[in-house]
Amino acid sequence: MRKMELHWKILIGMVLGLVFGFVMTYPDWGREFVSDWIKPWGTIFVKLLKLIAIPLILASLIKGISDLKDISKFKRIGLRTIGIYVFTTVVAITIGLLLVNVLQPGNGISEDTVAKLSETYASDSGVTSKLDEALKQKESGPLQFLEDMVPDNAVKAMSENALMLQVIFFTIFMGISMLLIGEERARPLKQLFDALNEVVLKMVDLIMLTAPYAVFALLANVVASSGDSDLLVALLKYAGVVVLGLFLMIVFYAILVSTYTQKNPFWFLKEISPAQLLAFSTSSSAATLPVTMERVEEHIGVDKEVSSFVLPVGATINMDGTSLYQGVAAVFAMQVLWPEGLVFSNQIIIVLTALLASIGSAAVPGAGMVMLVIVLESIGFPPNLYPIALALIFAVDRPLDMCRTIVNVTGDATVSMVVAKSVGKLGEPHPKEWDDHLEEVISK
Ligand code: ASP
């Protein structure tokens, strides 16, 4: 019998999780049951993925760079990656702004709804903690991001997933130095990292065996812990605009893939779909990164020299879905709360700050909402309305976060294909299974 493909298994897990979570909102004990007995399985899965992120970046980036043979190629890959990331992000924000201005989701929101939403959420700890975080980020100077990228302690950098850019910096530095000491001398170290890389990719395969069950737990928990659904209905038009924009981004990626790399876009979307489904279930492109890397390298055929750099960098700085959402959310907040701010110059400012904000957003759930405050601040949005603006979009933030994370991950995968094609590093897929070498370690 043909084995069922992974994305179908994950999809079935997701649907069952949604249904189960929904059913559990009925009995009095349901929500607590999900939180005590179901949620931990999802959390363990996300932890396992995060656990291997740093070793994977380290091993694969060192392997990627030390395979290069020619350092100037790395410069080419680097510059192209950053250039294309900026391009796709600007496209995303522009699509978001066009849609929100044409469809005007803010117009249907009554004062009553605003009052109800701000009553429910303005002093909610979710909103206030996001505001606090945003204020902290705001205090930093313009070159802070460069300063933050350089670690003063390699081990400390590797001890925290949020410091991914520091790990990338250290690894590139080390990889280039390995090239400079010559192949012969670097060989033992290279072999070590090559083996580590294979081991970590095998760990991804093993973790993915549990993905269909884990997404069940993750989604059951999202549904069972969600709040009042009446208010969701009021925000349906706004959410619809964001989702439509995100969908158009996926279409844009498909066009990019088919025109530039000449690959079938449906094949691309099918091969990357397990990563997309995990992005949706975890709302975190950082947690999804190991799976994105595995899919792009083994199932799409992007060479490690490209993917090992483009994908980890993309997970931290390229967030097309997040920037599109920021454009829509900022204008939506203006339409409802501050219509006098709706001038063309503010929309241009939104393009620039949403671009920077998406670079600065962490690849974790809800990060986009924190950076939204920075976007609002740049256009002179009245600070006393910040909590109300956040309250306005808070109710639908989680589902939208899940959707925009799909776009964040798909964008990274697309750019890795485009960059790979441009430097002649887009080859044939070579998928590996978790049990490829099983017979070697099991006695008959
Ligand atoms: N959750 C998103 C990510 O990890 C970031 C965000 O938009 O909040 O990619």
Domain ranges of the chain: 6-429
Instruction: List, for residues 297-320, the tens digit of each pLDDT value.
Output: 999 999 998 999 999 999 988 999
Instruction: List, for residues 355-374, the tens digit of each pLDDT value.
Output: 988 887 777 888 888 888 88
Provide CATH code, domain 6-429: 1.10.3860.10
Q: Which two tokens stand for residue 214?
A: 């884990």
Instruction: List, for residues 90-125, the tens digit of each pLDDT value.
Output: 999 999 999 999 999 988 788 888 887 787 777 777
Distance of CA 17 from the midpoint of ligand 1 (Å): 21
Residue 396: predicted pLDDT? 87
Beta partners for 2? Answer: none
Query: For ligand 1, is residue 401 a contact (CB within 6 Å)?
Result: yes
The percentage of residues in the chain with a pLDDT greater than 90, rounded to a whole number, is 63
Query: Over 80: is that where the pLDDT of 228 sits?
Result: no
Residue 230: predicted pLDDT? 64
Mean pLDDT within 256-275: 96
Distance of CA 96 from the midpoint of ligand 1 (Å): 16
Residue 14: predicted pLDDT? 95
Can you tell me whether residue 14 is helix, strand or coil? helix
In contact, 232 and 120? CB cutoff 8 Å: no
Residue 162: predicted pLDDT? 83
The rounded mean pLDDT for the chain is 90
Query: Over 90: is that where the pLDDT of 126 sits?
Result: no
Distance of CA 369 from the midpoint of ligand 1 (Å): 9
69 against 286, higher pLDDT: 286
3-state DSSP: the chain helix, strand, coil percent, rounded to 5? 80, 0, 20
Which residue has the CA at smallest separation from atom 1 of ligand 1? 365
Nearest-atom number in ligand 1 for the CA of 365 is 1
Spatial separation of the C-alpha atoms in residues 401 and 382, rounded to whole Å: 25
Name the burial class of residue 139, with classes exposed (0-12), middle (13-18) and buried (19+) by CB atoms within 10 angstroms of its CB. Answer: exposed
